[in-house]
């Protein structure tokens, strides 16, 4: 590996550590380490560096499965997933019910 690639890999490791720490804090109810905007920007920088080097390191959040890269048909559900706060209510008799009642 040439020196330039070594420094890029070192930078990628640092970004992966920062992104994974921020994700762990976010999903475990701890204080945010960075805003969503900052996380997205750093993720994009990491993705660009991976593309440039052709290297994706273990633990990289870019290698995790997301809805954006799941191929195939989406699963249809028997009932619509309606939020109680979505305003999708109809009045039926004495009580209010969601459209699926």
List, for residues 64-91, the tens digit of each pLDDT value: 866 555 455 556 667 666 555 545 444 4
The pair of three-digit structure tokens given for residue 3, joined into one six-digit string = 């020196």
Which of 39-43, 57-61, 81-85, 86-90 is predicted least confidently? 86-90
Phi/psi of residue 22, nearest 5 degrees: -65, -40
Q: Please classify residue 16 by burial: count the beta carbons closer than 10 Å to its beta carbon, then call 0-12 exposed, 13-18 middle and 19+ buried.
A: buried
Q: What is the pLDDT of residue 64?
A: 85
DSSP assigned state of 67:
G
Widest CA span of the chain, in angstroms? Answer: 74
**pTM assigned to the model:** 0.63
Q: What is the pLDDT of residue 92?
A: 46
């Amino acid at each position: 590996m040439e020196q330039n690639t070594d420094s890029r890999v070192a930078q990628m490791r640092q970004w992966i550590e920062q992104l994974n720490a921020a994700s762990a804090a976010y999903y475990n109810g701890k204080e945010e380490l960075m805003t969503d905007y900052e996380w997205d920007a750093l993720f994009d920088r990491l993705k660009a560096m991976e593309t440039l080097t052709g290297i994706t390191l273990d633990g990289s959040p870019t290698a995790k499965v997301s809805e954006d890269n799941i191929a195939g048909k989406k699963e249809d559900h028997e009932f619509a997933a309606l939020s109680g706060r979505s305003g999708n209510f109809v009045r039926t008799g004495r009580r209010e019910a969601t459209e699926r009642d």
